[in-house]
Amino acid sequence: MTKKNKLTRNERRLAKKEAKAQKKSRRIPRQNPLPGMEDGKLQAIENAALDYAELRDERQALTVKEVELKQKLIDLMHKHEKTEYKRNGISVKLVVEQEGVKVRVKDESDLPVPAPKTDVEVKEAEAVPF
């Protein structure tokens, strides 16, 4: 048995996804106006419309990924039988009525700095006669 590729199965899968994403993120082709043609000002409108369409398409692709990750998070919350999870500024709350999640992530600068732990015992001093 010989190895055709030195990439693992997961690496090949990720490379394929990346190539597909790059293919989708290509700019929409634009045609320059021919000399002597009118409506030169409409070119700006066309460029703005194409820019908008490109961003819209990227957002829609991200929405698909967001839905997949949201479902994965919901499944993990069910698997670990949690309705709420808080740790290190990350807060996840499972909303049962509409089967969704609310996620909040705080910046590290917003997190409270934990007080240093001290294990010092304080004993009362005995009265010493003068």
pLDDT at res. 122: 47
Write out pLDDT tens, residues 42-72: 778 888 888 888 899 899 999 999 999 999 9
Q: Which residue has the higher pLDDT, 108 or 53?
A: 53
Count Cβ atoms within 10 A of the Cβ of residue 85 and give its class: 0-12 exposed, 13-18 middle, 19 or more buried. middle
C-alpha distances in Å from residue 125, one per residue of 122, 128, 130: 9, 9, 15
| Rounded Cα gap, residues 61 and 75, in angstroms | 22
Query: In terms of pTM, does the model score above 0.85?
Result: no
